Structure 1
Amino acid sequence: MTYKKINIKIAPATEASKEIFIALLSELGYESFLESQEGLEAYILEDLYRPLDENNLPILNSPEFTAEISVEDLEEKNWNEEWEKNYFKPILIGNECLVRSSFHEKPSQAPKYEILINPKMSFGTGYHETTSLMIQFILEREVDGQQILDMGCGTGILGILASMKGAKQVLGIDIDQWARENAIENLQLNHINNMDIKLGDASLLREMPEFDTILANINRNILLEDMPRYNEVAKKGATIIMSGFYEEDFDKINKKALSLNWEHLSVKEQNKWVALSYRKK
């Protein structure tokens, strides 16, 4: 499976401008982003790639920014080595959950939960704010004996943590084949035997049983489209935890949730990224 790497030099390259570009590119199917001092590296499947111009990325018309764009073809490679050399470092979340890779040195004093993640191109190493926020929510919850759904599971990190916390069964769903393969590898790394990974989208939920907790770390537009399907497979009293959007998207997400008769429980925010939790009444 071949990816395109899009290098975007943004002026001014502020945190706010990078966040705007990331949000807009996510809606075009871009899966992963790496920020630099000059702008962004963005990654998308070759089959989904279309040249960026003012029609599909209107911000290029904005007088507030200038952007230089270049494109590279990426062959499938050992992404573990790339992350080891350049990006992926161990991260401790909530003083309880350490996320590291097998190539990192094992800590002398292990935390309560230690998750091994060897990433390919999959989203979910704990570094992105939304993954960290979702992990914080899971750490706070009792999931012992529960049926858990992890939509857009990426590396499988959220479902792995839920399993470690005592979930009875976990189902991860992701639309990307690389993500599915990577998640399966990470399940083996962490000796998780009660999590299944399926390739597909929310249409798979038509054939699923009901869940006690639903986790969804996906972009805003997909969430808004799929929330009714989450509702169909959520047990009465189920908890739905969602992230993947900015604080300015709260009203749209919350309006949709309330229309489904979900009770808003709490919100977490980090660098303008937001995670929300709800209960199905």
Structure 2
Amino acid sequence: MSNYIAYHFTIKPLKPATEILIAELGAAGFESFVESETGVTAYIQEGDFDETMLEDIFVLSSNEFEIIYTSEKIEQVNWNAEWERNFDPIVVNRKCTVRAPFHDIPNTEFDIIIEPKMSFGTGHHETTHMMLALMMEQSFENDHVLDMGCGTGVLAILASKMKAKSIDAIDIDEWCYENTVENIGRNNCPNIKAFLGDASLLDNQSYQRVIANINRNILLVDLPKYTQVLDKDGLLFLSGFYHDDIPEVRKKCESLGLEFVKNLEKNEWVACLFINKT
């Protein structure tokens, strides 16, 4: 398994430069992001990194923002300590707490324990936070659920705690797959099965709920697969894109027989809910 390189960006002013930088770095191949009071740290596998990648990040050369950065190699053994220094618990809609094992036990309906390592999905990012909130507005009881791009497994774990019958959690990144397996055990969710791979694993499957918090470009490519495995009147939860992307995502969904239900929005990021009418 590869080591990671961490780039620590200090940004002035934070908005909207942070969101633009994350979007550009994500498109370039950076996998995970941790926002802070001063900017953001971006992670990429050492084998995937090329110093010329940063030359194409437009926001770094913009006169509108002041962005400086440093980098370091992150060894696997340092990751738990890195998160212990930076990971604070969050509470979503007073119903769901996402915390690390070393945090106090909360008094909320859903308690999710996450040790995120190099994976995306602690609830701190707007997309994960909104997906948790959107999920809690619906029923998952006795449903078969798919969590695509599962990251830490946090959304799959919430589905399990909301009494879903079974959950398949899939991620293309080995860090995320292994992290999800660990967090499944940590939260005592035996009805979740984790898989390493992509949408090609979805042949001959059937779900009542599909969750996908992935970047827009992958969503647009994989939406036909999600629709294919989603039962009639099943719900599709999408995030990982901006408010300005809604028309394109909605057009693609509606062309596949998906009907728009609602969306949540936070700092230009959105989470959308669709229902399958085919």
One-letter amino acid of the structure 2 residue matched with residue 175 of structure 1 = I
Structure 2: tracts of 5 or more residues without a match: none
108, 121, 124: which one aligns with 2:121: 124
One-letter amino acid of the structure 2 residue matched with residue 8 of structure 1 = F
**Residues 258 and 2 (structure 1 numbering): CA distance in 2 closer, same or farther, change over 3 Å?**
same
1:63 deviation in Å?
3.8
The normalised TM-score by structure 1 is: 0.92
1:66 deviation in Å?
4.9
CA distance in 2, matches of 1:245, 1:161: 21
Structure 1: tracts of 5 or more residues without a match: none
Give % identity. Answer: 43
Q: Is the 8 A contact 1:78 1:120 kept in 2?
A: no
Q: Is the 8 A contact 1:53 1:60 kept in 2?
A: no
Give the structure 2 partner of residue 115 of structure 1: 112
CA distance in 1, matches of 2:200, 2:118: 24
207, 225, 239: which one aligns with 2:235: 239
CA distance in 1, matches of 2:241, 2:181: 26
Moved more, 187-196 or 71-80: 71-80
1:255 deviation in Å?
1.2
Give the structure 1 partner of residue 187 of structure 2: 190
RMSD: 1.7
One-letter amino acid of the structure 2 residue matched with residue 106 of structure 1 = I
Q: Is the 8 A contact 2:28 2:53 kept in 1?
A: no
Residues matched between the structures, number? 276
Q: Is the 8 A contact 1:213 1:238 kept in 2?
A: yes
Give the structure 1 partner of residue 264 of structure 2: 268
Q: Is the 8 A contact 2:33 2:120 kept in 1?
A: no
**Residues 54 and 80 (structure 1 numbering): CA distance in 2 closer, same or farther, change over 3 Å?**
closer
3-state SS of paired residue (1:77): helix
CA distance in 1, matches of 2:271, 2:212: 10
1:21-74 deviations in whole A, cap 9, x for unaligned? 101111122122223454332101112212245753234444434544443222
* 1:199 corresponds to 2:184: no
3-state SS of paired residue (1:192): coil
**Residues 169 and 36 (structure 1 numbering): CA distance in 2 closer, same or farther, change over 3 Å?**
closer
Q: Is the 8 A contact 1:7 1:70 kept in 2?
A: yes
**Residues 37 and 194 (structure 1 numbering): CA distance in 2 closer, same or farther, change over 3 Å?**
closer
One-letter amino acid of the structure 1 residue matched with residue 98 of structure 2 = V
CA distance in 1, matches of 2:110, 2:219: 28
Give the structure 2 partner of residue 41 of structure 1: 41
Moved more, 71-80 or 214-223: 71-80
Q: Is the 8 A contact 2:208 2:231 kept in 1?
A: yes
* 1:228 corresponds to 2:219: no
Divergent runs of 4+, >6 A: none
